[in-house]
Amino acid sequence: MTPVSLSTRNPYFGLSHLLRKRAWPLRMLPYVVLLLITPAMLRAL
């Protein structure tokens, strides 16, 4: 059962699947920014 075959039968599931895949990097972004900024701030201090 691939997401493509599911999305043809249920468009909403395919859409939510795409949104979940698209939203994963957005959820991880703040943590990445924190990891990048924290050492720079410590160096600035």
Residue 34 corresponds to which tokens in the numbers above? 């924190």
Percent pLDDT > 70 in the chain is: 53
Name the residue with higher pLDDT: 11 or 24: 24
Report the candidate in 32, 28, 9, 30 with the shortest Cα–Cα distance to residue 20.
28
Q: Mean of the pLDDT values across residues 17-41? A: 80
Q: pTM higher than 0.75 for the full model?
A: no
Alpha-carbon distances, residue 7 vs 24, 38, 39 (angstroms)? 19, 41, 43
Q: Mean of the pLDDT values across residues 4-33? A: 70
Instruction: Specify the pLDDT at position 39.
Output: 86
